[in-house]
Chain A
């Protein structure tokens, strides 16, 4: 399978072209998922940021439907894995089987050899199976029997999980969670959207009728565009400030990783591009802070006892962290930062 290199994919698309392509996907998905534009766009942003998506919510809000709709909207290879307790790693990665005709082992690719991999109920598989995803999600390759196989581009894992039901599930380990770029919750639809859903889906499921509006090549070009979005130094500084704040927050036992910083900025680029901008704003980071950061963090026992979720802690940090002001100084004056010098957090004493 030949792939374009990123140089060949090229830089910024014309604004209209990008807009048309991305809007087509969003509109297409919205035929199935009503009233969840922001969630849908976020899912698309994760795709364009070359990340992986974890959809976490109560049963029946359309997790799987979103995943499938996204997969169907893009004309590319899609594989689905239903994670069950007896699923084996080889089911995910592939296995070498003995070919009696050739008297040799030949590799049978697993489910991950696709552009989009939908992993349903991922926490129902044993950790052994879950960890089969570690390599492919981060390194976009699979190593079986000492042979490494590259995965295609785009490659995206969309996993769903149910946080309420604990019986017979294996919570994702930290390493696995850190590989998901964003975790989104579907949330209940608002009453009008639910009414529209009844009208639209009451008779027939629209999902099988969904036609692809894009293809892998277009997505690659969209990704190429996102990679070129401008990030000012102040925004980078803000991203670093954000993750640093999670590491220093007294409520968190485990802060965000450097990988998280990278993914945060990448997703922010995608969000900015979807918003029609060629530059990232701190606003983008603020919007993404909870979806991108929250699922990787571990609150302290005190915070857990106080029923402070990581979402709330992240929102609090965003609320208290002043914007960095390392912009080019105005030649008119030397004004100190407008902030009143309030430090967001006192550094913890060793």
Chain B
């Protein structure tokens, strides 16, 4: 029972630890407090039920009851008995909370504030996981399976955060899981009675079994790998657009919640994809149009306090012909009809499909796809975009500035205008818009005034590494910092145009990219883009792209929205534009507009604003890597060469050494004397012998540390140098010199050791096969072996030191005290 109680507590604690990743979702920590209460209630009920030795099903019921009581107390409807006993109205309240949570999931991005519905769902989920973990661990004794519900909690932030999931909470959760496993196994081992140990020695209860060391090491290595590898390998999770499909709440609310098409944070997905270091082909599109505008798949037109949101689309089946795009011939509006085929790769997974606006009809689309003519998005509730291939006809409209200028302001009571000009009240933005549009008469001129404001002259730069988000404060930050990427530019322009009383929204899609062959464009995750669409009366939605074109590969500009940073050859004819045309070229002298035409990906991946060739550094990096590898491989050979050279050199004639020997005639002299000849001879003999030994190792001749120099020399002259008599004599000479140097009073002097060494080396090389010779030159085994020995020695020392340290620390192990107390 004690073990069970202990295990139950550990299960509860592990559940809470596993919930740590949720901290990335909530702004505050209220959820944790409430989760602790709920889990504690569950654990307490489980413990009580077990005290009564009830069967498993009763324990489950007790835990569920405890969870219900806790939820009732935490989320009261006001009609409870004694504040904790639920009544039917309580459950009605719960149902409302659940529904509300779905709403909240749609409306809030991370991090979410403490709203009751979200907290309810969270606490309910954690409580349910606690029940499951308890049942699996204590009831069924399968703690490994308990990892699955715990993992479910972790999947929530994974699903919500598109690009990065904080590693620390994962480590905490994993540690909780390990704790659970360890506790269960300790309990299991204790039931054996005697504990198994490696060396038959008795081991105290508090002391870890020697057998456990391997498991501990494995666990540590596994945990470290699990945390570090995803950090080290960027973009390991392929196709993060997958998460567009799942949305939030897959771990809590089950499937279906938040799964509506397009109700996701396209902004977050966009920044995530642009920040990917890996480039993935997402879409291939073939069109008959020469200079198509951007491929488009989504739109965000719901502006709230926390930024632009995507509305759920609704529309008709996208099979066959669509209602013909409104044919309202106007002067200055040119309409051309084109044919295009879109092929989506397996990497792009979302409930939306990209196409060119405005479509006239779709072919080859199943009955699962719907078209929303207002939002101009193609969506599905059941299917996804992976591997879809379809073709369609579309009408491309181009406008002259004059045509747009002739558009009248929309009537104030038009639903579209009312709906699409809503902006949260940010006085600074409002003031800026008012200042920019002062004196502008037509709608188009107002839009252009705001649009032109995002020019380099005003200090705007392209930068990927900015904080994402489109809330009022973030727009304000952007307008102040003047650094951002398409998301900020598109949202800010839309926001400001709305402030000016003109409907605007943010569109998502692909630029034309930089890889084009014939009529086919290949678009990657780097080409994802956002821009602004402005509604003009009688004309419709007209795109404006305010993002600096050098930051966007494949950016295209139109006559009505020219590049504000480029030298303006297509300046609007009348001088109503605010942009001081003549200063533009000088303001950006380092930016050659031709660079953009070369279709370079302007460093979008790194977020730097220097346009550089993306593919060009790779060959150099490869060559540099190869060179580095070669240099690394050459290190052993060079080391061997240096050693040989040093040993082959004769000792300098005179050295100053301390007089070490008692037989030195100058014992009473000052401590520095010119060394005697025997010292040098001794050193030479040692050097020659060491070199011989290394040579033997290199040529894979056996080296026996138990052999004396004489025995080694005999063996070599007998076995290894072949029939070469000179080499035999030479190796004996080396052996004798080393022997005398080591053991005799006087070393051999005046013998031609380097010559003998060369002879022996030549003879040994002659006996070795070609592969051995090659290895001896390129990767000398003597050097490698010595390094290996050094490493092994070092690690052995470290292990020994670690063992001692552990032994000392074990003295303070609290479990030892517990064991002592129990034995008393």
Residues in A lying within 8 Å of B, measured CB to CB: 230, 232, 234-235, 277-283, 286, 318-323, 327-328, 330-333, 335-342
Candidate in B686, B706, B741 with the most chain A CB atoms within 10 angstroms: B706
Residues in B lying within 8 Å of A, measured CB to CB: 643, 646-647, 651, 655, 682-683, 686-687, 690, 693, 703, 705-708, 710-711, 739-745, 785-786, 789-790, 792-793
**Mostly helix, strand, loop or mixed at chain A's interface?**
loop
* Beta-carbon contact of B705 and A281 below 8 Å: no
Minimum Cβ distance to chain B for residue A43 (Å) = 24
Minimum Cβ distance to chain A for residue B280 (Å) = 51
* Beta-carbon contact of A332 and B646 below 8 Å: yes
* Beta-carbon contact of A330 and B687 below 8 Å: yes
* Beta-carbon contact of B708 and A340 below 8 Å: no
* Beta-carbon contact of A283 and B744 below 8 Å: no
* Beta-carbon contact of B739 and A281 below 8 Å: yes
* Beta-carbon contact of B790 and A336 below 8 Å: yes
Known: A327-B742, A333-B690, A341-B792. A322 touches B683 (CB 8 A): no
Docked complex Cα distance between A323 and B710 (Å): 12
Docked complex Cα distance between A124 and B116 (Å): 107
* Beta-carbon contact of B742 and A234 below 8 Å: yes
Known: A331-B655, A332-B647, A333-B647. A340 touches B705 (CB 8 A): yes
Docked complex Cα distance between A279 and B792 (Å): 37
Residues of A within 8 A of B651 (CB): 331-332
Docked complex Cα distance between A331 and B675 (Å): 12
Docked complex Cα distance between A279 and B740 (Å): 9
Residues of A within 8 A of B686 (CB): 327-328, 330, 332
Q: Could you list 24 A-B pairs, sorted by A, with CB under 8 Å?
A: A230-B743, A230-B744, A278-B744, A281-B708, A282-B708, A318-B706, A320-B706, A321-B706, A323-B705, A323-B707, A323-B708, A327-B741, A327-B742, A332-B686, A332-B687, A333-B647, A333-B690, A335-B690, A336-B789, A338-B693, A338-B703, A340-B785, A341-B789, A342-B705
Residues of B within 8 A of A320 (CB): 706
Docked complex Cα distance between A83 and B740 (Å): 46
Beyond A234-B743, A332-B647, A340-B705, 11 additional pairs, beta carbon < 8 A:
A278-B745, A279-B744, A280-B743, A281-B708, A281-B739, A286-B708, A319-B706, A330-B683, A332-B687, A338-B703, A340-B785
**CB < 8 Å: which of A323, A328, A332 contacts B706?**
A323
* Beta-carbon contact of A333 and B643 below 8 Å: yes
Docked complex Cα distance between A331 and B679 (Å): 10
* Beta-carbon contact of B745 and A283 below 8 Å: no
* Beta-carbon contact of B710 and A340 below 8 Å: no
Minimum Cβ distance to chain B for residue A287 (Å) = 11
Known: A330-B683, A330-B686. A283 touches B710 (CB 8 A): yes
Minimum Cβ distance to chain A for residue B538 (Å) = 90
Residue of A nearest to B201 (CB): A349
Residues of A within 8 A of B745 (CB): 230, 278-279
Residues of B within 8 A of A336 (CB): 786, 789-790
* Beta-carbon contact of B705 and A339 below 8 Å: yes
Residues of B within 8 A of A318 (CB): 706
**CB < 8 Å: which of B693, B711, B790, B792 contacts A283?**
B711
Residues of A within 8 A of B790 (CB): 336
Residues of A within 8 A of B708 (CB): 281-283, 286, 323
The 7 closest A-B pairs by CB, nearest first: A339-B705, A330-B686, A322-B705, A279-B744, A232-B743, A282-B708, A332-B687
Residues of B within 8 A of A341 (CB): 789, 792-793
Docked complex Cα distance between A278 and B740 (Å): 10
Minimum Cβ distance to chain B for residue A332 (Å) = 5
Docked complex Cα distance between A63 and B687 (Å): 48
Residue of B nearest to A279 (CB): B744
